Amino acid sequence: MGADLVVRFAGEGGQGQVTAAEGMAEAAARVGYHVQTFATYPSQIEGGPVWAQTRISTNTILTQGDQLDVLVALNRQAYENHIADLRDGGIVIYNSKDFDTPPPGNAIGLDAEALARETGNPRAANFIMIGAVAQLASMPLDYFTDFVKVRFTRGRPNDAEIINGNNKAIEVGAEKASASGYAVEPLDQPTPSDTKRILARGNDYLSMGAIAGGLEVFYGYPISPATTILVFMENNLNQEGQFVGQTSSEIESIAAIIGAGYSGRKVMTSTAGPGLSLMHEGIGLAWIAEIPLVIVDVQRGGPATGLPTKTEQSDLLSAINPGHGDMSVPVIAPGSVADCFPAAIHALNWAERYQGPVILLTEMSIAERNEDVPMPDINAIANERRTVSTGEMGNRRYAGRTISPFPVPGTVGASYVANGSEHDEQGDTTHQPQVHVDQTERRFSKLALLEDGTYDSENTSASVAILPWGGSKGAARAAYNRLRADGTDLAWYFTMFINPMPPALLEELRSKDLVIVPELNYLGQFSSVLRGLGINAHSIRQYTGLPFKEGFLVEQVQAMMKAQSGKLVRA
Amino acid sequence: MGADLVVRFAGEGGQGQVTAAEGMAEAAARVGYHVQTFATYPSQIEGGPVWAQTRISTNTILTQGDQLDVLVALNRQAYENHIADLRDGGIVIYNSKDFDTPPPGNAIGLDAEALARETGNPRAANFIMIGAVAQLASMPLDYFTDFVKVRFTRGRPNDAEIINGNNKAIEVGAEKASASGYAVEPLDQPTPSDTKRILARGNDYLSMGAIAGGLEVFYGYPISPATTILVFMENNLNQEGQFVGQTSSEIESIAAIIGAGYSGRKVMTSTAGPGLSLMHEGIGLAWIAEIPLVIVDVQRGGPATGLPTKTEQSDLLSAINPGHGDMSVPVIAPGSVADCFPAAIHALNWAERYQGPVILLTEMSIAERNEDVPMPDINAIANERRTVSTGEMGNRRYAGRTISPFPVPGTVGASYVANGSEHDEQGDTTHQPQVHVDQTERRFSKLALLEDGTYDSENTSASVAILPWGGSKGAARAAYNRLRADGTDLAWYFTMFINPMPPALLEELRSKDLVIVPELNYLGQFSSVLRGLGINAHSIRQYTGLPFKEGFLVEQVQAMMKAQSGKLVRA
Amino acid sequence: MSKRNPEYDFKWCPGCGDFGVVRGIELALAERTMRTGEPIEKTALIAGIGCSGNLVHLQEGPQPYGFHGIHGRALGIAYGIKASRPDMNVITVGGDGDMLSIGAEHIGPQAKRNVDLTAVVMDNGIYGLTKGQASPTTLGGVVTSTTPYGKLEDAVRPLDLYLAHNVSFIACGVSSKPKELAGLIGQAMDHPGFAVVHVMSPCTTYNDTYEALKGNPAKGIEPLAHQVPDSHDASDWNAALALVKQPGVPVGIIYRNPNSVPLHQRFAEARERIKPRSRSVEQMLNALAI
Amino acid sequence: MSKRNPEYDFKWCPGCGDFGVVRGIELALAERTMRTGEPIEKTALIAGIGCSGNLVHLQEGPQPYGFHGIHGRALGIAYGIKASRPDMNVITVGGDGDMLSIGAEHIGPQAKRNVDLTAVVMDNGIYGLTKGQASPTTLGGVVTSTTPYGKLEDAVRPLDLYLAHNVSFIACGVSSKPKELAGLIGQAMDHPGFAVVHVMSPCTTYNDTYEALKGNPAKGIEPLAHQVPDSHDASDWNAALALVKQPGVPVGIIYRNPNSVPLHQRFAEARERIKPRSRSVEQMLNALAI
Ligand SMILES: Cc1ncc(C[n+]2csc(CCOP(=O)(O)OP(=O)(O)O)c2C)c(N)n1
Ligand SMILES: Cc1ncc(C[n+]2csc(CCOP(=O)(O)OP(=O)(O)O)c2C)c(N)n1
Ligand code: SF4
Ligand code: SF4
Ligand SMILES: [Mg+2]
Ligand SMILES: [Mg+2]
């Protein structure tokens, strides 16, 4: 019996592979498995290579899985592109329409569309696939037929018809698979968790976190892979005292949330790299005028239009230092779908607490994948609000070298000018050298209010550490587990709090001989920041547009630890 | 006798202090002195504190001068703001209108405007001041009267009248000064240089360098302190095959020079911090589409609107890493007015050579000051042009892992798509992982073509070095000279080539125990970059909006060298 | 701001039209607070960057809330304020460069949303703060520091543009008549929707158009500025277009949409329609329970 | 680009209007090269970001130079090319979001400069590539993924806007008639000045407007699209305005300025005027000699 099943559905856009992968995941999650799905497709609508993958396991899932147990290839090109990822003894289900001679190895020919038509429900091709895969992993079919019942009972006259059609398709797929005689290691029984769980997509879970965190106003302009956040808000941020608007550009987005933040609301926008770059001047304005706001940057491949539908971690430098002039913008980077909910709450709290812009730096691979996570206890959430002026300070909004109460417009006796030029206490422009010194130090001093970030650590006595950031956490953790199991003496660190980092973590890292940073960019962006902070950090870099694989990281860490004998490797 | 005279004219805008300072400088330069002027005024038109300073010396001038020999205070506020900068025994010329009782010390009361009216030429107040200052430094008045003759002989009927009026004013000013009995140390005789010299303002000299460097097309949007470059181009870049245009915003500026660079021209734009931030997305486009172009960023105080008329060196991080995604933009930073001419030529050459964006990073203190520099030999200039395709490559514009010939639109058989998304050889969008890897490495590999940067060095055996960048060069050099004279063992390095740095320089710096980086920003931007490159660099930071003073740097370097015994100071 | 902040180191040049504009705004706000009893702190004045934008620091007397941001973005900031705080009275001020060049992109969207705010455009036909470059409203052929051989571009006609964007209230004033200007600004603030008050505010230093606007019989110069005739029906869009197509500068109310429904009302109505469908966070989470 | 690049991994959905637009451009360029003998490499096609912009990769046959840049900036790039290379024939393509939302700011300036280029606006009333959000031309009240309760903003009327900006050539076509579209694009390229060809190009996936445009007598749906009457005098701006104010979509040439002087000609004339004053670098340097 095995703990794990990894299946990939690959083909052209519009062949239903994403619904198949997600359907499988949801059904498996309902009976108590841990699941994770991952999909990738080009920035387009029809056709072109699209693949979706589901991992089902009795253990917590850290990655999408390096190797496939089953590959469902819906056309020849897909077979060629993906066959290399199939593990020895893995099984291919191929679209018999596309192959005159069956491919080598354990291969099952199947014409899902034709079979679906036979079942009288041509739109059920994805359930044919699901049935076949379930059968190969010896999973009870009722996991899936029950799921179909629940999912398609929508109080419509033709519910029964659709349910029966889909379930018929599941059985047909299963029959074909068993007829082939092939099978993968049967999947262990699930152990239903005692706590309530939900199956969420990264961007949706992040959006819910923001709303649970007290978000009141959201503005955004569509851009992949951030659009789903804007869409979620348009559908859900509509209660009394809330507002959501689609803007004409990211420049208007940043201007609008600056206005909304100035007006006293808890505010957010979301974008991807190109939009973040357009916001740079505005982020500087929020920094110098001290306006609380959160910018979600869902990273994709860059620069410019770049790789809109691929994942990358290459916006870090411009997130910490967006635009001209002296600033250091707080950055929080969730490491998994589960992290997205608390990360959104924390980002809003940081913005309110230090009265300035915060960047919530996530990435395509987290944004678009589904993961099962524990149902959060929303009563346990601590929402912060900026301390507001009741007029006691008069118009001295920028008084002192650290935070001062925020005058909400409308408050009598506290009117001031929020100013993007250097300014005195009441916000009037000035060029006096000492004022620029004082106000600059005031702005940076507020970062000390954000040192409450937490971090995980393990085996901290080791002199070499691995420190992934963002979405590389899972693969790095999987690699770490394997290395530790092999007896490698390696320390583990992870924090969502990239800037400012938890001071205690900084101290620990400074004491290491080598800190290994797996990151999805060419420059080794995070490690260069860490070296600037006096840490001997060096990167494992990948810039393929795809997430790390566990095996790759294991090899790379081993190589770096070998090389690590005094002399340094430049990242 | 003294080698040096430092005089400051301070008052309200519109009191003629800038013309007085520049007139003095020009007259002194004509007779063979070295001169430097520096002026500062708020972003405004009328009124408000404005001061201009002239330094006249028989030696090469490195800074505007720490202390004043003569302060001309045109109102009481100016007196209060500037008196602290007067050296012991220095002389104040104050506006007697504004003072009921004369200020303490060597003070000469003078009502320049009234006296000017008496001479019958009310607009000659500035010449009254010039005359007085000249007298105090025992400079022959004919230096100035001759200058007036040349400057105001414009072939107009009233030339003589104006010349006489101004010269009368000079004499009146001189009489008043001698009547006071005060005097500063007489200035040494100038030693006329045998080579031809010119007196140029930083931005003008940079503009001439660009045109001498083969600039063909310029687009810009007004912004202080870069506007004078746009104005220079509008007046001078108008020959056959040239074009200059004022755009509707910096976003249109970057788009337009991208188009012009794509069309095969040598192109440039100029802006300041706020405009640079707005260009970030476009700079990424030039990087990934491989379009040669130069962006001049004349730094001012930031962030946002910041300090439009003060000097700062705080745009470095966003110049090297503008915007999202992986890129590393070449940066050249002149250290003086004299550097501006070759820096502009080099920036254009780099852009053409590696086919991508180059940032010419200058700053307000250089842009707006006048300096005497040797007449450049324009026949010695080596202008580079991108290697162009004659169709031999077909449409394979992005072929190979390094530079490839550039297809100029119109060239038959070489049409391709310049692309801001990741692309294959012919510029068609693709999402193939290996293509993204290859093209990313292709883009970074081209930086190796830019390792021809030169640098100055001195006393390189010392284990501690000082490495200023940009406009802090002069003050750092003055401080270095003084420290060396006092026997301090300190190494000197300077390069205009910030990214990529000359490899040999990097190696030298890596071998130092400590590299001290004086820079005008809060973050210690350059030293953090250097630490990222494995150099133990730490900054002397100043963020007052004013340039460094020599004395301040001497103290700071001494303090850091004392502290430097094993343990590090964090910049 | 000047009185309470004598240190403030920006001054307009003598005779600058902007003195008249700030007076007009002060008078309009005084009248509004008097009439409605609403404290002046319920007004937010959002300024662009330019000589014009410095107005936010130069108001005398009771002070509204202010925002002096970045070049060209006052309207975007104002939209953010008004949509999330419909209880605020929001005004923007900016120059012809700020509002019609780098910031021009923000006019159309506010008009289509009909955001209930008042935009005061201070038009001097020049970039003043940066010392005299051509602006969108600088006339073709005019020599400035960036058009040494005469401006090659045609001039933008702002009133025509506002009409084309269907701005729901459009007025035009002159800085030399602060009282009349105050009246126009007052009505603009009362108008439920996006209102633009375009003000001819001459730059005495770089583009002195006083004589052209007021005319000079001695020199036989006809005044450009003329009052909008009483006969003009401001609710008639076509009449408004005909009016602005005539030569000269029509002073008064040019267009007012009588059926203007502002964004915050549209949003509130939508909110009512969807009440049944709106969900609490618990409901959102439970919808994903497995 | 498709034929020579079968690997290219973008495809339009079946029935997408953009197929008709690319055909129209191919035909217009073929006719131009045939007629003028100018090689197709003298044409640069500058694309925005959107399903529409992918057109630059999907042309069949002889290929012009192309540029596929960033969202909303095609016009700025095209201006840069044409002003520095007047010998090039420059075309832009982009969607209603690319050209009328984030890129709208670039229309006015090109119109005022009268840059001699042809802008093809592919209007499907939706953000296609990002999967169906409201665009400026999405009608008020329409439900999209970002307007689940109906769009609150009024729709932009592109033709009115081009007229207000004084675009010197304005035509409107439909993607379902590639030949007619080719004719309009051909005339736009021949026009000496800034030309906009607005094309109704339906999105079959997110906003299928074929029936509305063509009408459907069976369902009693009147066609929105109607030919510009022969009687229309395209040189008369007011007639053009009246035409676009009528209900529906007028197909044909709406406005053509008979006295259009393009930017490169204005600049060349200025250059002649100033020849006497223009200086070599030596002269510039010597002027500063001391
Ligand atoms: C992004 C950006 N670009 C340019 C500038 C420089 N700048 C300041 S004000 C201004 C324009 C001033 O003209 P206008 O808006 O007409 O205002 P005025 O001074 O005439 O009242 C410019 C270009 C800036 N501050 N920010
Ligand atoms: C700066 C920036 N913002 C947003 C996007 C995301 N984006 C890509 S295409 C597009 C709009 C597509 O709509 P449209 O311009 O109408 O073209 P269509 O796909 O409908 O042809 C958007 C918002 C981007 N690529 N860059
Ligand atoms: S420069 Fe012109 S606009 Fe600016 S303050 Fe002076 S007169 Fe007014
Ligand atoms: S989504 Fe719409 S616009 Fe895009 S390709 Fe499909 S049909 Fe065409
Ligand atoms: Mg102006
Ligand atoms: Mg569209």
* B246 contact residues in C (CB cutoff 8 A): 133-134, 146-147
Of A100-114, A435-449, B10-24, B33-47, the poorest mean pLDDT is in: B33-47
Residue B1 beta carbon below 6 angstroms from any ligand 3 atom: no
Q: Are B258 and B285 within 8 A, CB to CB?
A: yes
pLDDT at A12: 83
Q: Do residues B359 and B426 share a domain? A: no
Same domain, A15 and A154: yes
* A463 and A438 part of one domain: no
What does the alpha-carbon distance between residue A321 and residue A284 come to, in Å, rounded to a whole number?
A: 9
Mean pLDDT value of segment A449-453:
97
When scoring C2, C5, C8, C9 by the number of chain B Cβ atoms within 10 A, the one with the most, hence best to mutate, is C9
CB-count exposure of residue A77 (10 Å: 0-12, 13-18, 19+): middle
Same domain assignment for residues A170 and A317: no
**Could you tell me the pLDDT band of residue C158, with boundaries at 50, 70 and 90?**
very high
Name the residue among A499, A426, A289, A442 with its Cα closest to residue B543: A442
Task: Tell me, in angstroms, the distance from the centre of ligand 2 to residue D150's CA.
Answer: 21
Q: Structure tokens of A54?
A: 């589901």
Q: What is the pLDDT of residue C6?
A: 55
Domain boundaries, chain D: 17-260
The per-residue b/e assignment along A132-158, b for 16 or more CB within 10 angstroms, e otherwise, is: bbbbbbebebebbbebbbeebeeeeee
Q: Report if residue A379 sits inside a domain.
A: no
Q: Smallest Cα–Cα separation from A415: which of C64, C78, C29, C81? A: C64
The 10 Å Cβ neighbour count of residue B379 is: 6
C-alpha of residue D137 to centroid of ligand 6, in Å: 8
- Read off the pLDDT of residues A151-191 as tens digits, 9 standing for 90 and up: 889 888 889 988 999 999 999 999 999 999 999 999 999 98
Last residue of a domain, one of B370, B396, B429: B370
Which amino acid appears at position B374 of this protein?
P
Q: How high is the pLDDT of residue A18?
A: 86
**What amino acid is encoded at A315 in this protein?**
D
Strand order in the sheet with B217-220: B243-246, B217-220, B267-271, B293-299, B357-363, B331-332, B497-499
| Helix A337-354 vs helix A202-212: crossing angle, to nearest 10 | 40
Beta strands in A22-131 (DSSP E): 34-40, 49-57, 68-73, 86-95, 107-110
Domain containing A431 equals: 387-450
Residue B473 lies in a domain: yes
Percent of chain B whose pLDDT exceeds 70: 97
Distance between CA atoms of residues B168 and B123, nearest Å = 12
Question: Is D276 in CB contact (< 8 Å) with chain C?
Answer: no
Per-residue three-class SS string for B372-412: EEECCCHHHCCCCCCCECCCCCCCCCCCCCCCCCECCCCCC
Band (B298; pLDDT cuts 50, 70, 90): very high
Peptide bond before D276: cis, by omega within 30 degrees of 0? no
Give the homologous superfamily in CATH for domain D17-260: Thiamin diphosphate (ThDP)-binding fold, Pyr/PP domains (3.40.50.970)
**Does residue B495 surpass a pLDDT of 70?**
yes
Kindly give the residue spans of alpha helices, DSSP state H, lying in C152-193: 158-164, 178-190
User: What is the spatial distance between Cα B244 and Cα B264, in angstroms, rounded to a whole number?
Assistant: 15
CATH number of domain containing A35: 3.40.920.10
Residue with tokens 């192309």: D66
Please tell me whether residues B236 and B366 are part of one structural domain: yes
Rounded to whole angstroms, what are the CA distances from B34 to B1, B65, B481?
A: 16, 13, 18
pLDDT at A121 over 90: no
D 100-129 residues inside an 8 A Cβ radius of A: 101-102, 104, 127-129
Q: φ, ψ for residue A248 (rounded to 5)?
A: -90, -10
Does B48 contact C at CB distance below 8 Å? yes
Contact: A263, C81; criterion CB under 8 Å: yes
ipTM of the complex: 0.96
> CB-based contact (8 Å) between A388 and chain C?
no
**How would you label A183-222 residue by residue, b for 16+ Cβ within 10 Å and e otherwise?**
ebeebeebeeeeeebbbbbbbbbbbbbbbbbbbbbbbbbb
Residues A441 and A465 in one domain: no
In a domain, B375, yes or no: no
Number of domains in chain A: 4
Nearest residue to D166 (alpha-carbon basis) of A378, C164, B78: C164
Full pLDDT tens readout for chain D, 290 residues: 344 455 566 789 999 999 999 999 999 999 999 999 999 999 999 999 999 999 999 999 999 999 999 999 999 999 999 999 999 999 999 999 999 999 999 999 999 999 999 999 999 999 999 999 999 999 999 999 999 999 999 999 999 999 999 999 999 999 999 999 999 999 999 999 999 999 999 999 999 999 999 999 999 999 999 999 999 999 999 999 999 999 999 999 999 999 999 999 999 999 999 888 889 999 999 999 98
Whole-number pLDDT of residue B50: 85
Distance from CA of C285 to the nearest CA of A (A): 7
Instruction: Give yes or no for a contact between B501 and B466, defined as CB atoms under 8 angstroms apart.
Output: no
Separation in Å, CA of C19 to nearest CA in chain D: 30
Lowest mean per-residue pLDDT among A103-112, A461-470, B559-568: B559-568
Q: For residue B182, what pLDDT is reported? A: 93
A397 and A341 share a domain?
Answer: no
- Residue that finishes a domain, picked among A450, A473, A490: A450
> D9 and chain A: CB distance < 8 Å anywhere?
yes
Measured in degrees and rounded to the nearest 5, phi and psi for residue C102 equal -65, -30
Contact C113 D153 (CB under 8 A): yes
Based on the domain organization, do A345 and A269 belong to the same domain? yes
The single-letter code of the amino acid at C57 is H
Picking from B370, B403, B425, the residue at the C-terminal end of a domain is: B370
As a whole number, the mean pLDDT across chain D is 95
Chain D residues 186-245 with CB within 8 Å of chain C: 241
Task: Report how far residue B94's alpha carbon sits from residue C155's, in angstroms, rounded to the nearest whole number.
Answer: 48
pLDDT at C2 over 50: no
Same domain, A431 and A543: no
pLDDT-derived band at B169 (thresholds 50, 70, 90) equals: very high
Same-domain pairing of A111 and A212: no
Mutate to test the interface with B, among D8, D10, D43, D67 (most CBs of B within 10 A): D67
The answer to whether position A192 is within a domain reads no
Q: Is the minimum CB–CB distance between B442 and chain A shorter than 8 Å?
A: no
Q: What is the pLDDT of residues B399-456, one digit of tens each?
A: 988 899 999 999 999 999 999 999 999 999 998 899 999 999 999 999 999 999 999 9
Within a domain: B107 = yes
* Residue A275 placed within a domain: yes
pLDDT at D9: 67
pLDDT over 90 at B42, yes or no: no
Question: Mind listing the pLDDT tens digit for each residue in C190-247?
Answer: 999 999 999 999 999 999 999 999 999 999 999 999 999 999 999 999 999 999 999 9
Burial string for B402-425 (b: 16+ CB within 10 Å, else e) reads ebbbbbbbbbeebbbbbbbbbbbb
Identify whether residues B343 and B255 lie together within a single domain.
yes
| Same domain flag for A422 and A506 | no
D71 with A305: Cβ contact below 8 A: yes
pLDDT recorded at residue C5 = 56
Which residue is closest in CA terms to ligand 2's atom 24? D71
Distance A274 CA to ligand 4 centre (A): 22
Per-state percent for chain C, helix, strand, coil, to nearest 5: 40, 20, 40
Number of residues assigned to chain C: 290
Q: What is the pLDDT of residue B3?
A: 84
Q: In the prediction, which pLDDT does A307 show?
A: 94
Nearby residues of C107 by Cβ (< 8 Å), 6 or more positions away: C75, C99, C119, C161, C162, C165, C167, C196
Please judge whether C134 and B248 are an interchain contact, meaning their C-beta atoms are less than 8 angstroms apart: no
- What integer is the mean pLDDT of B482-497? 97
